[in-house]
């Protein structure tokens, strides 16, 4: 498989862009070789600049639940483009997407659209601090919430893949306002709130951590977090940038039966274009300017073209067929792994359409970042180029999860297992 054109383009980009990429993991530093430069994509497949075709299980890191270039989304975007790329004013698409989002999160009464998941989290944290006047933030080791200064402390895959515990450029006094607890440790949670609960403005967590492996947490643990935050007047933020609309036309909060105070969304809500959101209880969301004193603004927030992609995606999802197909795929994968030789070298923990190829067998799947052995990461990274050579594209980091989409078939999953086992 030739990648001469990708190599040529990468050499050019390295001279112009730090490491030649716009996001660190794309540099392929852990898996070696030249990063793949995609040229086009459709359905479950992508084609690189050298004409190589790949079965894609990265799916743009999660937004493409319908697959690449879904006709309904493309049509909506093309129609929106003809009306103008940006207005900088209010437009009807904002209300249309807001109605769809709030229908999926009944506890939430207001939503504000932003451009990225990082921006949504930044806004949620600012809202929490503005609503109760406190400073400190509680997060959990292994959860990733974007590259906000106060949350770049023991974050997720991007940081860990680069071998960093935090980030340079984050002032010590900023990091000092962030408390970090291990996932799943109820005793540590209770102790933290006993000692500092009245000083904690917000507790933020991925209710299903999926950016540092797939670290499923017990309902008991998340219920305890809800109980303690409520008792201490702390705002509970569920970061559902990855999980929102992933398992049904709702949030992961519905599966848990636990309501947070704020939720952050991204990825699926934009259907492949840059859209994110913060939503939540009226009394907190009403603190946002111009209603309240918490400032947030953005030239590209609520962009009409981007929101058109989100509206088209959620409209398709609301019909329900996609989720039925995804569950069929998931059950097929579970059954196939049980009979396939790949089951002797890897496990495939799955929640809905999220799958994590975990190269360890005979041991429980970890639910904390610290429990992931380096050998599992080394095995994944060492096999990666072989998967590419056989036409299968997975995230170029063992800490990242894979995503099934409406465009995938059961035959695609069989191919995936064959390739993972052969390389």
Looking at residue 112, what DSSP letter applies?
E
**Alpha carbons 246 and 252: distance in angstroms, whole number:** 8
Cα angle: 226, vertex 232, 233; to 5 degrees: 85
Catalytic site includes residue 267: yes
Ranges of H-type helices in 154-203:
157-161, 172-175, 186-196
CA 263 remoteness from chain centre: 13
**Alpha carbons 244 and 45: distance in angstroms, whole number:** 24
Percent of the chain that is helix, strand, coil (3-state, to 5): 45, 15, 40
**Alpha carbons 398 and 395: distance in angstroms, whole number:** 7
Catalytic residue selected from 48, 141, 239, 412: 239
**Alpha carbons 412 and 399: distance in angstroms, whole number:** 22
Catalytic residue selected from 56, 141, 267, 358: 267
Q: Where are the beta strands (DSSP E) in 123-254?
A: 136-140, 178-181, 200-205, 235-239
Catalytic site includes residue 331: no
Catalytic site includes residue 239: yes
Catalytic residue selected from 10, 144, 252, 323: 144
CA nearest to 272, candidates 35, 56, 88, 420: 56
CA nearest to 377, candidates 31, 102, 71: 31
Tokens of residue 95, six digits:
């209300």
**Alpha carbons 207 and 264: distance in angstroms, whole number:** 11
What residues are annotated to the active site? 144, 239, 267
């Amino acid at each position: 498989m030739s990648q001469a054109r990708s190599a040529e383009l990468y050499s050019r980009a390295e001279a112009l862009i730090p490491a030649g990429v716009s996001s660190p993991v794309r540099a392929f530093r852990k898996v070696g070789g030249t990063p793949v430069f995609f040229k086009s994509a459709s359905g479950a497949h992508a084609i690189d600049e050298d004409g190589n075709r790949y079965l894609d299980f990265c799916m743009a890191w999660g937004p493409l639940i319908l697959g690449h270039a879904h006709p309904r989304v493309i049509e909506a975007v093309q129609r929106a483009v003809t009306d103008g790329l940006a207005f900088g004013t209010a437009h009807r698409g904002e209300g249309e997407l807001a109605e769809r989002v709030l229908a999926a999160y009944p506890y939430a009464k207001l939503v504000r659209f932003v451009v990225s998941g990082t921006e949504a989290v930044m806004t949620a944290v600012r809202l929490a601090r503005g609503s109760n006047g406190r400073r400190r933030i509680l997060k959990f080791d292994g959860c990733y919430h974007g590259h906000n200064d106060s949350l770049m402390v023991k974050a997720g895959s991007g940081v860990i893949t680069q071998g960093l515990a935090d980030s340079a450029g984050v002032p010590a006094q900023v990091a000092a306002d962030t408390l970090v607890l291990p996932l799943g440790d109820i005793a540590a949670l209770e102790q933290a709130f006993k000692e500092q609960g009245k000083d904690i403005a917000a507790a933020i967590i991925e209710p299903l951590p999926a950016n540092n492996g797939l670290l499923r947490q017990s309902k008991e643990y998340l219920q305890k977090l809800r109980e303690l935050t409520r008792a201490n007047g702390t705002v509970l933020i569920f970061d559902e940038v990855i999980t929102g609309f992933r398992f049904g036309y709702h949030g992961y909060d519905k599966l848990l039966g636990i309501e947070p105070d704020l939720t952050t969304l991204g990825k699926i809500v934009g259907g492949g274009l840059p859209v994110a959101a913060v939503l939540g209880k009226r009394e907190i969301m009403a603190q946002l300017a111009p209603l309240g004193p918490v400032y947030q603004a953005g030239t590209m927030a609520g962009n009409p073209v981007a929101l058109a992609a989100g509206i088209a995606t959620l409209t398709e999802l609301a019909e329900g067929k996609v989720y039925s197909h995804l569950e069929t795929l998931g059950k097929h994968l579970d059954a196939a792994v049980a009979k396939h030789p790949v089951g002797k070298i890897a496990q495939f923990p799955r929640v809905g359409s999220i799958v994590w190829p975990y190269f360890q067998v005979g041991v429980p799947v970890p639910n904390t970042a610290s429990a992931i052995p380096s050998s599992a990461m080394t095995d994944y990274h060492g096999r990666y180029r072989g998967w590419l050579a056989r036409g299968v594209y997975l995230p170029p980091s063992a800490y990242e999860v894979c995503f099934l989409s409406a465009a995938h078939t059961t035959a695609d999953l069989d191919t995936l297992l064959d390739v993972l086992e052969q390389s």
